[in-house]
Amino acid sequence: MPDHRNTLDTFLADLARLLSLQDANTRTVLLGVAALGLAAGVVGCFATLRRRALLGDAIAHAALPGICAAFFLVGSRSFAAFMLGALVFGALAAATVAAIRAWTRVKEDAAIAIVIGSYFGLGVVWSSLIQNRPEGAVAGLDGFIFGKAASMVASDARSILIVAVIVVGIVLLLYKELKALTFDREFAQTQGWPTVALDLLVMALICACTVAGLPAVGVVLVVALLIIPGAAARCWTDRLGTMLLLAGLIGLSAAVMGAALSATLPSPTGSASRGWPTGPLIVLCAAAAFMLSAIFAPGRGLISRLRAGRVEMKAP
């Protein structure tokens, strides 16, 4: 049993070395998760404001069968193929929810729950089939369920970076249109903007961020990267532009902190192979940011509301 102080010192030294980006490998990982956190935080604001938050969850869960299908087709671990498969199945899941809502009397919440369960079930079935095969071990599918940022290679990080640049670029370019779509759909229609196409675009952006987040955060928790930064940013401002900026920054810092902790915290079991999973740590960092925002934000936060005597909290 190593001396506690000693462990703490090593940990802090590790963390400092990591955050100063000294070695190439951590640089890739941190760059990848930072880009991801930024993009997901920005896009997540639209998902939350348009009440599409849990559709992201359905898309994320549907990514698992998509990844498995890609593995069946390609036969090896290929980041690009996995992302493509996840994207196709994510779109399929979103379409299924829309179809159930439009064509049956089943409500959207039940539709989302059914889609989450059955698509993920399909993913579990297929991944168990893959693991039964001799080449299955190389698939690394486990990493996609809880996330394993450490196994990210340079090409993965580059793909995430490209996705993030495209996503954030689209949001910046179409800022005015997306803003109108979010808050005043009728106005957007009278401007002659294609609201349905913009709606689909938002879904595609959610899909892209979800899929890009899988390697780092995993299927189950990637939805948190979309929702929590936006929720935290909402506490500070009423302006969409500020909210997007803050959500992006919160997402970025939570992702970097989480990945850094995952890489440096001493393994709980003592074995190097089974360390702390990245996804949950990133989510906890984001949740901490939300709690701090909800309590301390000026005007909106719990403390200033209690001070102003507005104990009765008003829901949106």
Partner 1 sequence: MMLSTLHAADFWTMAVAVCCAVACGTIGCFLVLRRMSLLGDAISHSILPGLALAFILTGTRDPLAMLAGALVVGVLTAGMATGVRKLGRIPEDAALGVVFSTLFAIGVLLITWVADSVDLDPGCVLYGLLETVSLDTVRMFGVDIPRALPWQAGLMLGNIALIVVLFKELRITSFDSGLATTLGISAGVVQFILLTAVAATTVISFEAVGSILVITLLVAPGASAQLLTDRLGRMVILSGVLGATAAIFGCLAAIYWNTSTAGMISVAAGAQFVFIGLFAPRYGVAARLGRNTLLSMRIAREDILGLLYRLQENREPGAPRSLPSSQVIRSVATPMRARLSVMQLRARGLVDRSRGGGGELTLTARGVDEASRVIRAHRLWESYLSQNLPLPLDHLHEPSERIEHFLTGEIQSKIAAEIGDQSDPHGKQIPAP
- CA torsion sign for 30, 155, 226, 66 is negative
CB of 112 to partner 1, least distance (A): 6
The interaxial angle of helices 278-296 and 240-264, nearest 10 deg, is: 140
Residues 57 and 206: beta-carbon distance below 8 Å: no
Min CB(172)–partner 1 separation in Å? 23
Q: Please state the closest distance from residue 27 (CB atom) to partner 1, in A.
A: 25
Least Å distance, CB 260 to partner 1, is 15
Looking at the Cβ atoms of 154 and 287, the one nearer to partner 1 is 287
- Return the closest-CA partner of residue 74 out of 63, 65, 64, 85: 85
Q: Which is nearer to partner 1, 142 or 184 (CB)?
A: 142
What gap in Å lies between CA 257 and CA 276, rounded to an integer? Answer: 13
Backbone angles phi, psi at 282, to 5 degrees: -60, -45
Nearer to partner 1, 20 or 269 (CB): 269
Q: Which is nearer to partner 1, 55 or 161 (CB)?
A: 55
- Maximal CA-CA distance, the chain: 69
Cα separations in angstroms, 126 against 61, 144, 148: 13, 14, 20
Whole-angstrom Cα distance, residue 94 to residue 47?
13
The binding site for partner 1 (CB under 8 A) comprises 47-49, 51, 53-54, 56-57, 100, 103-107, 109-126, 128-129, 132, 142, 145-146, 220-221, 223-224, 227-228, 230-232, 234-235, 268-270, 274, 276-277, 279-281, 283-284, 287, 290, 293-294, 300, 302, 313-316
- Of 125 and 162, which has the nearer Cβ to partner 1? 125
Query: Among 194, 206, 195, 196, which Cα is nearest to 170's?
Result: 206
Instruction: Pick between residue 100 and residue 164 the one whose CB is nearest to partner 1.
Output: 100
